Chain A
Amino acid sequence: MSPAKHSTRFRVWLALVLVALLLLILALQQRSTPPSESFAGLGEKAEEYAQARPGVTLHFPADHGAHPDYRIEWWYLTANLEDTEGEPLGVQWTLFRQALAPPGNDDTNDAGSPWSSRQLWMAHAALSTPDSHFVAERFARGMTLPDGKGQAGVEIAPFTAWLDHWRLESRVTDPAGDLLDRLLVSAQGNDNDHDFGYRLELTAEGPLVLHGKNGFSQKAADGQGSFYYSQPFYRVEGQVEIGGETRNVSGRAWLDREWSSQLLGPSQEGWDWFSLHLANGAKLMAFRLRGGGKGGDHYVSGSWISTDGQQTALATDDLWLTPVALSSVAGRQIPTRWRLRLPAQDLDVTVTARHPERWMDTSFPYWEGNVVVEGSHQGEGYLEMTGY
């Protein structure tokens, strides 16, 4: 009995890894080198997708919704929390959208079946305690029933982003306020026979922040980029559940919204991404795209967000991101301690992972975890590292 169970589990695991390879490329195209010919012709049709360009004005609430004509898109929420005992916790809730075919293929798609869709959805949920890290993921296609219901999607009125029972929904009642000002996020998952879940209420205490130039965030020296805005000012109250035990939590959260058709240049292999809540109320978003800068350097960019939500775009020369310590995680060397310098703000801090073991062993494996900021400024935040 037991060896059979083992081998089944091994097969499940093996298949997961296989699926991983696929969705890794599919769902987050930017990580890959140019799509190969064999890869479903996605590469050839790339220009048929809408392209993110500077000079486009973002409109809300419309742009909170999905942009099916762009290849990829996400609703990415991270929260730094504390339970009543003062134990630091981290929560992640992410919904990814990936188009399988460029727009214009919708007609051939219908065939009368509610299943047919060129959109693929993937969601990740994670919960970190000081000593453990629970991760779950789900997939769905963009199916729609005649009554408009579907397994996954994003609706604007009322704002709901969901995949199965994992939901991010607006609780805004004031018609004048932004739809994202008050949100309820929930997910339940199971990681290696450990049940976990969370249900958090988010209240924004500041405005939406558009990154780059009015929301166009350049990602490589040759001009490619994405539309990118955030709501970094959430106050959080709610509950997390670990193995049937419920804890009341509170803290801060950050929502990223981004969509594009070609996020990465051909030579970019991954990124290191910071979203930091500083103790003085300011926020810092910073990323480093490895390769793809001028002459093959790293491409560094970011936003300094003042306490009232004023954004200052940061470029390669303003911002210094340096890995200072590596940890061995999931068989790789991953920088879990960084030095961040932003001379314009007299900022020189060390950013350290709360725990190096924050590997997301999902179909698309990456590192994502809560971090502590020390040095010239104090704070906390989230760090995402891919491509290692």
Chain B
Amino acid sequence: MAEYTLREIMTVVAAREIKDGDIVFCGTGISMIAAMAAKHINAPNSVIFFETGAIDSKLEELPLTVADPRVMYFTSMNGGLADSFATMQNKFISKHVIGILGAAQIDKFGNLNSTSIGDYLRPKARFPGSGGACDAASFVSRSIIFMQHEKRKFVQKVDYLTSPGWLDGPKGRKKAGLPGGGPSVVVTNMAIMRFDEKTKEMYLSGYYPGITPQKILDNMGFEVDISRAKEVKPPSYEELIVLREKCDPQRLILE
């Protein structure tokens, strides 16, 4: 078995969730590498699309932000914010868009907080805010969420609900007036979590080699079902080569 780092397995696991033909709304960092990897491995006809308006960029070098000049090179077209988000709100396109998101806090329904901890007006810790995350979470049919498995991050109730998951359960989004899709998977430094078909509650779907389901539970602020969990298939040699040689040869993110 090939040696791999934690960030590498997280990236590969997320990449495997992207289907051929998906339009991938991605942010910066690890989500961008996952989207790049998917194109090389399992979804050659997926399209990387940035909220800044760059569509199908030729990413010869890894962008550090969605506004990096590297996303503007050899695109299908370079547009702007109003147009790119409208593309995700478009009911014909949104069905095919998968979002990749991250956050400081998540609850059992996949609602995300990337705004602040504590009182909104005078927070203990302030984060960047929604950016385009809430827009994507509102519109897209599926999303992959990257998280660190820590008690303070997997919480009963998020301090600020920035990006909608399943809200308060299976009927939550419909009640609120949101389109039908929602979060599909949470990829962490220990495990893959998914959401129950019926209850929309998070459950443990897979754990990385060397990690026990109990250790995962110990790092969460709420209980989840672990009865369906299986060990995750580690990255293959071929997958690792793609990550290291094609996606991040400068080791800007994966290190």
Task: Report if A and B associate in a common complex.
Answer: no
Interface residues of B (CB under 8 A from A): none
